[in-house]
Amino acid sequence: MEQYAHAVAEFVREHQAWAAPIVFLLAFGESLAFISLLVPAWGALVAIGALIGVSGISFYPVWIAGGLGAALGDWVSYWFGFRYKEQVAQMWPLSSYPDLLPRGEAFVRDWGVPSIFIGRFFGPLRASVPLAAGIFEMPYWSFQIANFISALVWSAVLLMFGDVIGKIMEWISRVV
């Protein structure tokens, strides 16, 4: 997976105009229930964040693209759960992770709307919380408000984490 993140970051470094669309797609895939289980993209998002400070890529368009991609991924997952209910657990790849959806369900039932925000920051929950929120019919607008706010915060955190790492690496290379 590290090679994948490195290859994506290298492409973005060479083709900076593609930074925002690529971050949008990575964040969408990372937040979409089924895709995020197969292709975790957070490493590539952090690597792209590392390029922001050292290569001159503008933070704001990439941040907004990441937030919108993540929010759209969760929105689709919510809709899918709302539409297909318990049938979702029998679908691949969730059928390969039988404990994932019950954990998401328990988390949504225990925490309510804040579960959307909290779940965004924890890998296995990120895939199942929006799906569970849809299955158990969390109110639509409550979900969407938490979804969009948490997506923008999550995107900023990942990209800034990468940016800080990039600046530290740049400083180390100058000092050593």
With beta carbons less than 8 A apart as the criterion, state whether 124 and 158 touch.
no
What is the number of H-type helices and E-type strands within the chain?
Answer: 9, 0
* Alpha-carbon gap, residue 59 to 70, rounded angstroms: 16
User: What's residue 152's pLDDT?
Assistant: 97
E strand segments, 9-130? none
User: What's residue 21's pLDDT?
Assistant: 95
pLDDT in tens, the chain (176 residues): 567 777 888 888 888 899 999 999 999 998 887 777 667 788 888 888 888 877 888 899 999 999 999 999 999 999 999 999 878 878 776 777 778 778 778 888 899 899 999 988 887 677 788 988 998 899 999 999 999 999 999 999 999 988 888 788 888 888 87
User: What's residue 161's pLDDT?
Assistant: 87
Place of tokens 């929120």: 133
Domain ranges of the chain: 2-175
Question: How far does CA 1 lie from the centroid of its chain?
Answer: 16
* Alpha-carbon gap, residue 137 to 157, rounded angstroms: 29
User: What's residue 157's pLDDT?
Assistant: 93
User: What's residue 1's pLDDT?
Assistant: 59
User: What's residue 7's pLDDT?
Assistant: 83
* Alpha-carbon gap, residue 171 to 54, rounded angstroms: 11
Question: How far does CA 54 lie from the centroid of its chain?
Answer: 23
* Alpha-carbon gap, residue 50 to 168, rounded angstroms: 10
In the 8-state DSSP scheme, what is residue 39?
-
Tokens for 31, please give them.
């937040």
User: What's residue 81's pLDDT?
Assistant: 92
Entry field: residues in the chain:
176
Place of tokens 């089924």: 34
Whether the ω angle into residue 102 lies within 30 degrees of 0, i.e. cis, is no
